[in-house]
Structure 1
Amino acid sequence: MTFSASCHCGNINVTFDASIDSLTSCNCSICHRLGALWGYTHPNNVSVSFHRSAPISYCHGDQCIEFHHCALCGCTTHYTPTDMGNTQRMAMNFKMINPELLKQIRVRHFDGANTWQFIDE
């Protein structure tokens, strides 16, 4: 299935072309503040484009993930690993898609703050 997402102002567009069984809500210090719902796939299945201003990235903690957000409206749209050649996964923030589509996808809660395990199985 193909999902299309955009930041609030429409500057950044993300296309996610992969099936999704569930989304992840993480409670680590950054994800908690972002309020993101992450959907994961191989980087080849994601396309990112922008219209007026390139995304700005932010690295946190162990510096292995870059969170990308719009320079104009501030919405976090996706994250990429810092070493794109050494990964099989990146994520799109599904809070940037049509809310009606979210009702059809299971949300799993991940304890990224303490145990690094899913809270609900």
Structure 2
Amino acid sequence: MAATDTSIRSSCHCGAITVTVPRLPKFINVCQCTICRRYGAAWGYYPQNEVKIETKPNAVTKQYIWGDRDLSFNFCDNCGCVCYWWPIRPPSTDERKKNIMGINTNNVNPELLRFVDRKFGYSLLISPLRSKDTAHPEDLAKY
């Protein structure tokens, strides 16, 4: 009996950056924080060691890092698509969350994700950063 490949492929518009994960996400988080809602990102979360990131020759992945500098948002320098976020330093002391990264599921064939629950995450709207000085002007957290 042959094993069935259940991996999911995500790619930027021009195809320069491809992210492959082993399975559908448990859910998709349509985060409403000040950056994600502007990106229009819909995150699927995976352990870093389960994610394969490939770039075509001469492709450039750019990063945007802000706030507490916990995460880098990585996007294609050619077409501008946000592909994934990567933890620069673990944002949590919870061992289960330390090595987690997010892939932008909006770069996946929507037919594959049709039956995956979408959650609209508003919790980051009121989660304070380590320093108010690095917060976005629209940050609603109480400091």
Bin for the TM-score computed over the shorter chain: 0.7 to 0.9
Give the match for residue 48 of structure 2: 43
- Residue 80 of structure 1 deviates from its aligned partner by 0.4
Give the match for residue 92 of structure 1: 103
Whichever of the two has the greater Rg, that structure is 2
Give the alignment partner of residue 114 of structure 1, picking from 121, 126, 130. 126
Shifted more, 2-11 versus 101-110: the winner is 101-110
Q: State whether residues 18 and 41 of structure 1, in contact with CA within 8 Å, keep that contact through their aligned partners in structure 2.
A: no
Give the match for residue 82 of structure 1: 88
Deviations 1:25-57 (A, max 9, x none): 111110000111100011000011111312111
Give the alignment partner of residue 7 of structure 1, picking from 6, 12, 15. 12
Aligned residue pairs: how many? 115
Structure 2: where are the runs of 5+ without partners? 1-5, 129-143
Q: Alignment RMSD, CA only?
A: 1.8
Structure holding more strand per residue = 1
- The ranges of structure 1 where at least 4 consecutive aligned residues each deviate by more than 2 angstroms after the TM superposition are none
Counterpart of 2:125, as a letter, is A
Q: State whether residues 18 and 45 of structure 1, in contact with CA within 8 Å, keep that contact through their aligned partners in structure 2.
A: no
Equivalent position SS for 2:102: strand
